[in-house]
Amino acid sequence: MRNIFAIKRGERLLCLVAFLAFVGLNWLMIAYNYGLFTRGGNLGFWGLFFDHYTVSGYDNLSYMTISRWKIYYQLYRHPLLPTFFYPFYLLNHWLMDLTHTNYAIFIVAFFNVLTATYSCLFIYRIFTEVQELRKKDALLLTIFFFSFASILLTSFVPDHFIFSLFFLTMTLYIAGRAMKREDGRMKAWQTMLLSFFATGITFTNIAKIGLADLFVNGKRTFRIKHFFLVFILPLGALFAIYSYQQTTFVEPDTKLQARVKEKKLKKDQKFAAKYEKQHEFMKSRTGTQVANNRFFEWTDLSSSRTDAIIENLFGESIQLHQEHVLEDVNKSRPIIVRYSSVLNYIAEAMIIILFLGGIIVGRKEKFLQLCLAWFATDIVLHIILGFGIIEVYIMGAHWLFVIPIAITYLFKCIRQRRVLIGARLLIATLSLTLMVYNLSLIIPFMLRGFVAPH
């Protein structure tokens, strides 16, 4: 297989424009609290970042990890992330000693721009090479995808979702190309590497890698040698990494923090009152769990599914709400926010209708069936089980690409030129409207957090 990271001549302009756009978006994140977030030295980085960072519900744990080595991530969900960031912590620590400046925001921005640019490239290739869409229409739908609110945000916030988007779009591209070849197979080493890295970023990605292998390789997926190489081996390696970090770093630190917290609760009444208030607030945000177990701590059986789907899943994921812009539901944002204008609901309805139309037209296509199987895993996880349902909109990078992929089949079935021009105008109008609307809310919010260097 040719090097999928090599940029072909016809893709260079797209990649250049995407690169510059993502540099601009990441500049917003660098400017956000710049004077505070570049402070170096022996500081309380948890308080520095936690108290002064709020961009929706996206985490800033990568900033903390690169600033001071500690396992901030929940390892059973993100076993590989601390290991990945460790060399960059060492680099940042060395630079911090030399310059007294924290370069975490620049290191994270570098990876955001790189992975976002390649995610854009993989999406475009899915449209052109896998679905064989006209290049102008592929470009239009690529812009449409990146006009979605959570995709714009994912491209510059210091969270793990851009890495997931990178590996998931790569997986779909590899699987789609394999479906078109005569042998119709994904190589074992491809699935093995994807299983290791994508699952290491977010553990639930293993379901999607497994589905991709199953749709492409069929019964071969369950052959003992293949199954061992592509699933058991990478999962075993991730478990070993998880176990080492858990016993070496997490458990000793957890015991230490518990002792420190206990002492502080006894001695500092203000801290105790603040801690109790925050504890009660977080309880109010927690619905009925599937089971009383840490693996189900984010599940929620009691929250309204209708509101979650309308306002969050197909709402905030695609177009931000005018009220409580980019507030964190675990800090100040209400669980459900309504749009101030009926036009937002009209736009949402149009996108859902296009999505459903694409599904109906392309329902017999194997590649779309794979994408819908992926989408179904997210629906089961977030809507049925309620995992992270109160902020499901921050997880759009895991599934939103299914919408333009489905719409592609509408474009392919149109034969009349006038109808095709109408479809292009509709997607172009939606893309431009969403891009302008979302950025008009994002940019002022991010620039309000600008703090000049001292």
pLDDT classification of 296: cutoffs 50, 70, 90: low
No. of helices (H) and no. of strands (E), the chain: 20, 0
For residue 423, which amino acid is it? A
Quick one: which of 36, 103, 115, 28 has its CA closest to 66? 103
Rounded distance between C-alpha atoms, residue 452 and residue 454, angstroms = 6
Q: Is the alpha carbon torsion for 105, 51, 391, 437 positive or negative? A: negative
Q: Express each pLDDT in 71-85 by its tens digit.
A: 999 999 999 999 999
Rounded distance between C-alpha atoms, residue 88 and residue 114, angstroms = 16
Does the pLDDT at position 303 exceed 90? no
Residue 293 confidence (pLDDT): 63
Q: Express each pLDDT in 306-345 by its tens digit.
A: 999 999 999 999 999 999 999 999 888 999 999 999 999 9
Does the pLDDT at position 302 exceed 80? no
Contact 66, 109 (CB under 8 A): no
Residue 1 confidence (pLDDT): 47
Q: Which long-range contacts (CB under 8 A, 24 or more apart) does 320-324 make?
A: 320/149, 320/437, 320/438, 320/441, 320/442, 322/441
Residue 454 confidence (pLDDT): 43
Rounded distance between C-alpha atoms, residue 243 and residue 76, angstroms = 10
Mean pLDDT of the chain: 92
Residue 276 confidence (pLDDT): 72
Does the pLDDT at position 210 exceed 60? yes
pTM of the model: 0.93
Rounded distance between C-alpha atoms, residue 279 and residue 257, angstroms = 16
Percent of the chain with pLDDT over 90: 80
- What lies within 8 Å, CB to CB, of 171 at 6+ separation is 194, 198, 208, 209, 212
Q: At what angle do helices 81-99 and 188-201 cross, to 10 degrees?
A: 60
Quick one: which of 77, 75, 43 has its CA closest to 63? 43
Residues in the chain, how many?
Answer: 454
Residue 261 confidence (pLDDT): 76
Residue 294 confidence (pLDDT): 62
Rounded distance between C-alpha atoms, residue 357 and residue 289, angstroms = 35
The DSSP result for 258-287, as a single string, is: HHHHHHHHHH-HHHHHHHHHHHHHHHHH--
Quick one: which of 195, 210, 312, 250 has its CA closest to 83? 250
Rounded distance between C-alpha atoms, residue 343 and residue 333, angstroms = 22
Q: Express each pLDDT in 91-111 by its tens digit.
A: 999 999 999 999 999 999 999
- Greater confidence (276 vs 60) lies with 60
- What lies within 8 Å, CB to CB, of 299 at 6+ separation is 287, 289, 290, 291, 385, 386, 387
Q: Express each pLDDT in 226-264 by its tens digit.
A: 999 999 999 999 999 999 999 999 999 888 888 877 887
Q: Express each pLDDT in 264-291 by its tens digit.
A: 777 877 766 776 776 666 666 566 666 5
